Amino acid sequence: MGRHSNKASDLWKSQPWKKLRQNLFRLQRRLYKAVQAGDQRKARSLQKLIMK
C-alpha cells in the first residue's frame, strides 16, 4: 500500500499544473463570454467540458 500511494503522489506531483491552470482559465473566460452573449447552449457545453 505504501508503494501505491507513493506512485500516486509522484504522478500527482508530475502533472503540468501551470498548463492545466492556463487551460482552465481559458475555458472559464470562454464560458463568461458565452453567458454575457446569452449563448446558453455554448455556456452549458463549456460547463460540461470544465467538469470533465
Q: Would you state the pLDDT for residue 8?
A: 87
Q: What is the pLDDT of residues 1-52, one digit of tens each?
A: 555 668 888 999 999 999 999 999 999 999 999 999 999 999 999 999 999 8
pTM: 0.77
Helix (H), strand (E) at residue 28: helix 17-37
Extents of the domains making up the chain: 17-52
**42 contacts: CB under 8 Å, gap ≥ 6:** 34
Which has the closest alpha carbon to 27: 12, 43, 3, 8? 43
Q: What cell was used for 13?
A: 506531483
Report the distance separating Cα 29 and Cα 44, nearest Å: 14
Q: Would you state the pLDDT for residue 3?
A: 57
Q: Would you state the pLDDT for residue 36?
A: 98
